[in-house]
Copies of this chain bind each other. A is one copy, B any other.
Amino acid sequence: MSVLEVSHVSKSFGSKNVLQDVSLTFDENKIYGLLGRNGAGKSTLLNIMTNRIFADTGEVKIDSERINDNDAKLGLIFLMSEVNLYPNGNTLNQIVADTELIYGSFNHQLAERLAKEFDLDLTSKFGKLSTGYNSIFKLILALCVPVKFVLLDEPVLGLDANHREMFYSELIQTYTDNPRTFIISTHLIEEVANLISDVIVLDEGRIMLDQPVEDVLAKTHSVVGPQKDVDAYTKGLNVIGHDNMGTIRVNYVYGDLDDRRLPDTVQLSNFDLQKLFIFLTNQFEGSRHYEN
């Protein structure tokens, strides 16, 4: 069992505290969603986890060994990021060969199948790829390197709906064939909600939520009905947002309902992960209340 641990990591750029005392544990063979607003610190965290930038304080360990200057451990992690690390003049085949050298092996069979499926010519030069195909190529690398921890930062940026669906389906396939840990940072929350087992929400550099998706969704409650009845029912509960649709009121609750009796006029259902995320991280709604 390999475990990736982030312990008390903080990082500032100038006067801005980008990460503040972040601690997380990533278990083997799980798919994590790492969610956060723009600027919340997600990319910084992923870069620290792969030793591309250094934490001011705190540490990152795999199986209790620090990853800094530890090639054996760093060889177990791959980060696909928005930053382009490859020379524009190199062909994709050359980049594959270089990646194989660094990681010791490479799943060429899968890479060729994916290239064909996505209609990507591996003899193209890296610098000639469109935004969408740049993402696709980097995704192929990420799925074909022999690592235990695959970190994907905005993996579907610029991909059309068909390519996004193909990617999600290939991710499930490769995870089934060869279970390992994926950490996916994305703004398209609803599209990954069914893929991920655990959700981490980073908000202004701090961990706001770190739980199984199932547990999180079980705590979401839309309370719908006439405003008076809805407000009476949700009084004292953790109401994180609301909607008005004509005379109908919806209060969104995150947390326990305290077993209170539901009036006949009021209906309960769950709401989705993207909506929860928006309410929890919305600075302008006064919804800074949440439970973990």
Q: How far is the CA of A157 from the CA of B38 in the complex (A)?
A: 12
**Stretch of A67-75, A88-96, A106-114, A277-285 on the interface side:** A277-285
Q: Give every chain B residue within 8 A of A39 (Cβ-Cβ).
A: 130
**Contact across chains for A161 and B277 when beta carbons are under 8 A apart:** yes
**Contact across chains for B37 and A282 when beta carbons are under 8 A apart:** no
CB of A163 closer than 8 Å to a CB of B? yes
A140 smallest CB distance to B (angstroms)? 16
A124 smallest CB distance to B (angstroms)? 14
Count identical subunits in the complex: 2
**Binary per-residue interface labels of chain A (190-233) against chain B in the complex, 1 for a CB within 8 Å, 0 otherwise:** 10000000000000000000000000000000000000000000
With A117-B284, A158-B157, A188-B188 known to touch, is A163 a contact of B132 (CB < 8 Å)? no
Of residues 32 through 51 on chain A, the ones whose CB sits less than 8 Å from some CB of chain B are: 36-39
**Contact across chains for A278 and B162 when beta carbons are under 8 A apart:** yes
CB of A98 closer than 8 Å to a CB of B? no
CB of A187 closer than 8 Å to a CB of B? yes
A136 smallest CB distance to B (angstroms)? 9
CB of A159 closer than 8 Å to a CB of B? yes
A45 smallest CB distance to B (angstroms)? 16
Q: Give every chain B residue within 8 A of A38 (Cβ-Cβ).
A: 130, 132-133, 158-160, 163
**Contact across chains for A37 and B284 when beta carbons are under 8 A apart:** no
Going nearest first, the 8 A-B pairs with the smallest beta carbon separation are: A38-B132, A38-B160, A37-B160, A160-B187, A162-B278, A161-B274, A161-B278, A162-B282
